[in-house]
Each structure stands twice: as C-alpha cells, then as structure tokens.
Amino acid sequence: MEITWLGHSGIKLKGSKTIYIDPFLTGNPAASTTPDEINEADVVVVTHHHGDHLGDAFTICKKTGATCVCIHEISVDAEAEGITTEGMNIGGTIETKGVKVHMVQALHSAEKGDPAGVVIEMDGKTIYHAGDTGLTYDMKLIGEFFKPDLSFLPIGDRYTMGIPSAAKAVEFIQTKKVIPIHYNTFPVVSADPEEFKKRVGDKAEVIILNPGDSYDL
C-alpha cells in the first residue's frame, strides 16, 4: 500500500482502492496537491467537521464519485449535495468497496456531530488515523482491539496532542509504525518531528514525511 502525506492531516492510501482521509487542500499552505489534480478516489473519510479536515472532501466526492465515510451529521449534509455516503458514529463499523472503517473516539470539538478517529482495514493492513485528539487512556483499547500496523498521530500541540503526549499515545496504541501529522501547516502548530522521533525511541518506527512524500507499507 502506498501512503502519501498531503500535508496537515490529509492522507492518501493507495492499495486495491484509493482512499483519502481529511483532504484539506484548498487554503492549506502545506498542501502537496489540489482537488483539480485528483481524478480518482473510491472512499473519502472525514474525521470531524472542522475546515482543516472536511476541507475538499465534498468536492473530491462529487468529482470522482467516491463514497464519503463520516459521522452521521456530516453525512446528512453530504447526501443533500448528492454525494454517496456511509454515515456512521463512534463505535460503529462500515464496509464499503472492500474497505472497513471503524469509528473511534477523539477528544476534541467539532462544528457538527462529534469528532472522531478512524481505524481503516484494507488489503490486510490496519491503519489508525487519530483525527484531532488529546491524549486519552482509551487509546490503549484501540491498541489492544485493533493492533494497528501504522498510526497517524497529531503532534502540533495547541489544538491536539503535542510531542510529549503523542509519544505517550504511541505507547498506549502499541503501533508498529507511526507517521506524525497536524504540524508545521501554520505557525501555531509548529513542531519538530525529529524531537517526536527521539521521544518515541524504540517504542515504534517513526516515519517522517514531507508533504507529497510517499511511504510503502
């Protein structure tokens, strides 16, 4: 599976299906692509209703015919715009196009519906995208129950976990690999990913990407 960081919390997973998570591209100074350049998508996952996560999700769904997987309150809006949706809520699992998405808790806020994280299963790999969240003991449960091969964790502080709490989260999740996100997009979320890597130490493999970089999982 090819994993590409689009900048901020935006991720592209390209395996048997193409999945976008939190594609905030328009207005994102760190974005590595634009919605104009995206012509193929099967599933678009939105973690919560904040502009830097919902971003261009609806635009991409309309253009590609991708299914929007999101919390119920966002799916109502998406459906009203003619988008195919899989509305869900925390604790639930949906399967669409051979991709499984489990919605899990995130400690955060949102304009509509609740904020969430997602655990995605595709091609035998399990991937956790934490969305925006503070450190929570429930991450232990995510680790025990889903055993993620790879996790995307925010490290930019102020609106989410900072480096010390994100490093603690790695311990809780027991993830094998971790890619830090939600940092250096704007000055208010400045963070040094090398410092995160140092803190995590040998607890997990920390993969530091630049926006537009890909990693083969």
Separation of alpha carbons 211 and 24, rounded Å: 12
22 touches Mn ion by CB under 5 A: no
8 touches Ni ion by CB under 5 A: no
Contacting Mn ion within 47-76 (CB under 5 A): 52
Which of 22, 42 has the CB closer to Ni ion?
22
Q: Concatenated DSSP letters for 122-158?
A: ETTEEEEE--S----TTHHHHHHHH--SEEEEE---S
What does 86 bind: Ni ion, Mn ion, none (CB cut-off 5 to 8 Å by kind)? none
Separation of alpha carbons 43 and 96, rounded Å: 8
Q: How far is CA 80 from the centre of its chain?
A: 24
Q: How far is CA 112 from the centre of its chain?
A: 18
Structure tokens at 42: 């099967």
Separation of alpha carbons 110 and 137, rounded Å: 21
Contacting Ni ion within 146-205 (CB under 5 A): none
Type of residue at 206: V
User: Segment near Mn ion (CB under 5 A), from 31-39, 73-81, 131-139, 161-169?
Assistant: 131-139
121 touches Mn ion by CB under 5 A: no
**Whole-number minimum distance, CB 47 to Ni ion, in Å?**
8
42 touches Mn ion by CB under 5 A: no
What does 8 bind: Mn ion, Ni ion, none (CB cut-off 5 to 8 Å by kind)? none
Under the rule (CB under 5 A), what is the footprint of Mn ion?
52, 132
